[in-house]
Structure 1
Amino acid sequence: MKTIIASALLALLAIVALNGFVIINPGQAGVISVLGKARDGELLEGLHFKPPLISKVDIYDVTVQKFEVPAQSATRDLQNLSASFAINFRLDPTQVVTIRRTQGTLQNIVAKIIAPQTQESFKIAAARRTAEESITKRNELKQDFDEALGERLQKYGIIVLDTSVIDLNFSREFALAVEDKQIAEQRAQRAVYVAREAEQDAQADINRAKGKAEAQRLLAETLKSQGGRLVLQKEAIEAWREGGAQMPRVLVMGGDSKGGVPFLFNVGDLTEEPPALEPGR
């Protein structure tokens, strides 16, 4: 009987001893509750004593957590705007006792604190700009959201590390309006391009006309000067060659030595040998 009692006592002492200590691992923080009441003083990593049999330790993960939270709001020009945010946060280890007393579990923290505050912070950021500015100034929208959310969650012992805008959607009507505006802008840009192209073509025609007039002026001056006759003769012959026609055997160009191309010759004389003279002639 004494042996049985002694064994029972040893077993009871072993249970009490094992139940009287708790180990908090790195990345964790604990809160001791005695008879259901949270006791002051958070438990950080290491070995800690707790009242055996009548106490419980709630352990919180204080490493980085990530949750995706949806949000909806209206912009300054009353356009409906919806978004989805990825919130990276962690619990402040020094505030886990308050968190335990006010919120309880991590699921309650996300549902009762982070989600509603994300919604309110998004409303603040979206109301400061129009729907179009929410697109063109998306970084500023996110910055305003981060500042509002960080300030609101800090008092709950939640530290916001980073946020990401996963998705940003507008109403169907606004999307169609943006599409129509883009089409109109593309058409306007096309019209400007066509007008500039026509202007450049017109300027090119003017330049060509000026060049041709200048060439004609120079040609006229050349014809007036000594040697103009030879220029006309040369151009007449080249015109026949470039046209692909055969040169006539007799070429007569202008009989007036002042108004035309004053030369007359037999082209065959340039290529054929003169006939031999008969004797006595």
Structure 2
Amino acid sequence: MEAGTGTNTNQGPKRSNVSLSKLVGIAVTVVVLLIVGMNSFAQVEYGHVGLYKTFGKLNDNILSPGMHLKIPFIQTVIQVNTQVTKTETDTTASSKDLQPVSTHVAVNYSVNKESAYNLMNNIGGSFDTVIINPAVQEIVKEVTARYQAEDLIAKRDTVAGEISDHLTSRLAKYDLIVNEINIVNFKFSEAFNQSIEAKQVAQQQALKASNDLKRIEIEAKQKIAQAQAEAESLKLKKQEVTPELVQLKQIEVQEKALDKWDGKLPQVTGGATPFIDLQSLTNQQK
């Protein structure tokens, strides 16, 4: 009885240990499968393309945006941004008249999707600092040296277009597309800025003087025209004065004086009193 009881007591812990080991094994298996499953997929984001990288070697198969299978722990998927991206570069150069010029240039570029493998395999992900910025600096220096300092300001769009043409040709060798280039700022020496400001002030003063002279000339012409008009008017008025008109005016004055006369002759007459021909007036009334 004691022996039987002892045997049953020892078998209970063994069965419990076996069951626990199985549960642990199942749990580990599930975790491993989950890890393997999660590492069997890779997602390429919108606006990017993907490239398989197996043991450090790139595959030329271009992956479009979305989910893709991969070999767990062996393959990775690197993503290449194909959207329009901006890079900014500062360049110091000299103009044709040897004025120091600092130029801040912004370049909008994008990666050719079909050529992403060549770009990443030959240059790598830091192609903006390896290829684009040095190219911008070299081309800006070359173009700036062809223009006078003042022309760089006056012909800003032309300068930007020339830089864009050269940069487009240069970056096409590396499958990079130049979408747009902008000259954000030209910065010159303080002495040059002062000379430009003085020149502008002189031009404004000369323009003001020219405008004043034109205004004076116009006013003088207006006065001459007015005087001529007045003279012509006076001339026409003189032409209208005839002997008959003078006689008629005299008669009108005499008639008005007669209407006001009370029939009494003035005791004293002055030089200002008009002479009234009573006989002629009487004859006219008859």
Q: Which residue of structure 2 aligns with residue 184 of structure 1?
A: 202
| Structure 1 residues 12 and 203: CA distance shift in structure 2, 3 A | closer
Residue 210 of structure 1: how far off its partner (Å): 3.8
CA distance in 1, matches of 2:142, 2:153: 16
CA distance in 2, matches of 1:32, 1:65: 23
CA distance in 1, matches of 2:110, 2:150: 33
Residue segments in structure 1 that go unaligned for 5+ positions in a row = 235-248, 253-263, 267-281
Preserved CA contact (<8 Å) 1:66 1:86: yes
Residue 265 of structure 1: how far off its partner (Å): 0.5
CA distance in 2, matches of 1:151, 1:16: 46
Residue 229 of structure 1: how far off its partner (Å): 7.5
Letter of the 1:265 counterpart: T
CA distance in 1, matches of 2:270, 2:222: 39
CA distance in 2, matches of 1:184, 1:102: 56
- The secondary structure found in structure 2 opposite 1:129 is coil
CA distance in 1, matches of 2:44, 2:233: 98
Q: Say if 2:109 is the partner of 1:89.
A: yes
Greater share of residues in helix: 2
Q: Which residue of structure 1 aligns with residue 62 of structure 2?
A: 42
Q: Which residue of structure 1 aligns with residue 221 of structure 2?
A: 203
Letter of the 1:122 counterpart: V
| Structure 1 residues 70 and 218: CA distance shift in structure 2, 3 A | same
- The secondary structure found in structure 1 opposite 2:46 is coil
| Structure 1 residues 230 and 114: CA distance shift in structure 2, 3 A | farther
| Structure 1 residues 78 and 230: CA distance shift in structure 2, 3 A | farther
Letter of the 1:100 counterpart: M
- 2:176 corresponds, among 136, 158, 166, to 158
Q: Which residue of structure 2 aligns with residue 70 of structure 1?
A: 90
Residue 13 of structure 1: how far off its partner (Å): 5.5
| Structure 1 residues 26 and 220: CA distance shift in structure 2, 3 A | closer
Residue 128 of structure 1: how far off its partner (Å): 3.8
Q: Which residue of structure 1 aligns with residue 124 of structure 2?
A: 104
- The secondary structure found in structure 2 opposite 1:40 is strand
CA distance in 2, matches of 1:112, 1:251: 116
- The secondary structure found in structure 2 opposite 1:26 is coil
CA distance in 2, matches of 1:250, 1:159: 112
| Structure 1 residues 109 and 220: CA distance shift in structure 2, 3 A | same
Q: How does 1:49-60 map to 2 (within 5 A)?
A: 49-60=69-80
Letter of the 1:53 counterpart: F
CA distance in 1, matches of 2:105, 2:198: 29
Over aligned residues, Cα RMSD in angstroms?
A: 3.7
- The secondary structure found in structure 2 opposite 1:139 is helix
Residue segments in structure 2 that go unaligned for 5+ positions in a row = 1-17, 253-267, 275-286
Preserved CA contact (<8 Å) 1:223 1:231: no
Letter of the 1:101 counterpart: N
CA offsets 1:71-96 (integer angstroms, 9 cap, x no match)? 33333333333332332222222233
CA distance in 2, matches of 1:222, 1:134: 71
- 1:118 corresponds, among 118, 132, 136, to 136
Letter of the 2:202 counterpart: A
Preserved CA contact (<8 Å) 1:222 1:228: no
- The secondary structure found in structure 2 opposite 1:265 is coil
- 1:194 corresponds, among 201, 212, 221, to 212
Letter of the 1:61 counterpart: N
Count of residues in correspondence between the two structures: 241
CA offsets 1:192-251 (integer angstroms, 9 cap, x no match)? 22222332343344345444554565566566744448879x9xxxxxxxxxxxxxx976
CA distance in 2, matches of 1:183, 1:136: 17
Residue 22 of structure 1: how far off its partner (Å): 2.5
- The secondary structure found in structure 2 opposite 1:149 is helix
| Structure 1 residues 54 and 201: CA distance shift in structure 2, 3 A | closer
- The secondary structure found in structure 2 opposite 1:180 is helix
CA distance in 2, matches of 1:82, 1:209: 61
CA distance in 2, matches of 1:208, 1:26: 78
Preserved CA contact (<8 Å) 1:29 1:62: yes
Residue 12 of structure 1: how far off its partner (Å): 4.9
Preserved CA contact (<8 Å) 1:30 1:42: yes
Computing the radius of gyration from Cα coordinates, the structure with the larger value is 2
